Amino acid sequence: MKKTHFLVSMLVLAVFNSCQNTDENDNENLRKQESHSKTVNVTTHDGRPFSTGSGSVSGKFVSGPGGGVLMQGFYWDVPEGGNWWNTVKDKLAAWSDSGISAVWLPPASKAQNGAYSMGYDPTDYYDFGNFNQNGSVETRFGSRTELEALITKAHAENMQVYADIVINHNSGGQSQSNPFTGTNTWTDFSAIASGKFPRSYNDFYKNSYGNNDEGAFGGFPDLCHANPYVQDWLWGRDDSVGKYYKNVMKFDGWRFDYVKGFGPWVVNTWNSNVGGFSVGELWDSNVNTLEWWANNANSSVFDFAAYYKMDEAFDNGNLNALNDDMMWKRNPYKAVTFVANHDTDIINNKMPAYAYILTHEGYPTIFYRDYEEWLNKQKLNNLIWIHNNKATGNTSILYTDNDEYIARRNGYNGNPGLVVYINNSSSWQERWVQTNWSSKQIKDFTGNSTWYPTTQGDQWVKIQSPPNSYSIWSLNQ
């Protein structure tokens, strides 16, 4: 749901000449003492959903050892005119070839504002731009035929498609007398064009089931999930919203909007009845709250704890903030990490933030405008490739201070893992670190450093990182 919208001031990353390699044995013992390590107690390998191996010559997504990456395939107020589904469809082959494994679409059904709506004010869950309703046939994004063509194309590219599901509230109903409020309310959805999931005042709070649930949003009628009729239409019956989206429209998963508005049991029950990947938008920086919700919903959750810590780290000169607790550290299988989305875009120094989420555990998300408009696509593609092919195993934080952060992915199932070095300072930095590799040549897979050092027998090696940038090291193979 759209809450706030921030303009992004872009950071232009300069390209620096690499320093010359120096004798790694100089002051070895001193530098070893400088590098201190802390291991994060997380699982031993990634758990994100992935299709089949990394970009291939056919253009189809193929999952590498590190899995895949989610693309948020929209932003707030994408162009009107019904062409967005076609716009996204035309980008899928390039996205899949770059290592994008799934695309998250905006709410696809007809909403109150018809062709002008971003979909977060849903009226008819079964009108995908094929009924003349709310002032238009098509939605803002296009027709049902175009949406189905997008989903078919994504599946041909071995990509999954996630639907944005708005089930906290509805909008666009007609006025009716409501005995529970003693007034008229906009809760009459009996005449919706699809004829599916007609609703009336008893399907919204307050009603015979109570006065309210966990939360309402924006004055919209608040859907009552305690009502068995509502449950049946959302996930129970064969043509329920969830099963129709999955079995007829062929969506593979769900991004649940504003899950603060209803209990986690709703998502849990949907997932049990419908299946598919799911992630909840629980806008809360408290990692305990995120973990509680994810466990009770049996769902992934957006890692807002990491999001706000990254803002502190990369915009406010305190990389020590990355030592703090985050959802991906609690359970990477249920953490979806992100740098920006359609609702909130507060991180200005974005490339180091993307280097962070694309080298660490969790399921990383790329924001459409960052990828297609605002940032260096070649650098993002490089990070996506590194994620899919090198970002394996659990995470050990090797060094942090205000300006420097070094972490190691410890590898898994024969994959060597990596070492990421993020440098917020205005000059080149060097550190001795302990790797996973004994007497092996390594290189920086970003190309930011031209060093090709060889690790010592005890696995220590000196690496470097350019100013206001990052380097990512792994075996030269």
* Binding annotation: 168, 232, 238
Residues 6+ apart with CB under 8 A from 143: 82, 85, 128, 129, 130, 137
Binding residues for Ca(2+), by number, are 168, 232, 238
| Residue 281 annotated as catalytic | yes
Among 257, 303, 345, 370, which one carries the catalytic annotation?
A: 257
Contact 114, 193 (CB under 8 A): no
418 alpha-carbon distance from chain centroid? 22
Maximum alpha-carbon separation in the chain? 83
Residues 6+ apart with CB under 8 A from 355: 383, 420, 422, 470, 472
Residue 193, strand partner residues: none
Residues 6+ apart with CB under 8 A from 459: 434, 435, 436, 437, 438
Among 46, 121, 281, 345, which one carries the catalytic annotation?
A: 281
Question: Sign of the CA dihedral 395, 419, 351, 315?
Answer: positive
The total number of residues written for the chain in this structure? 477
| Residue 257 annotated as catalytic | yes
Report the alpha-carbon distance of residue 261 to residue 282 in Å, rounded.
9
Where helices occur in 199-240 by DSSP H, the ranges are 228-231
Question: Sign of the CA dihedral 138, 144, 146, 150?
Answer: positive
Q: For residue 154, what is the enclosing H or E element?
A: helix 144-156
Question: Beta-strand (E) ranges in 142-202?
Answer: 160-165, 174-178, 183-188
Task: Describe the chain by its helix, strand, coil percentages, rounded to 5.
Answer: 30, 25, 50
Report, as residue numbers or ranges, the catalytic residues.
257, 281
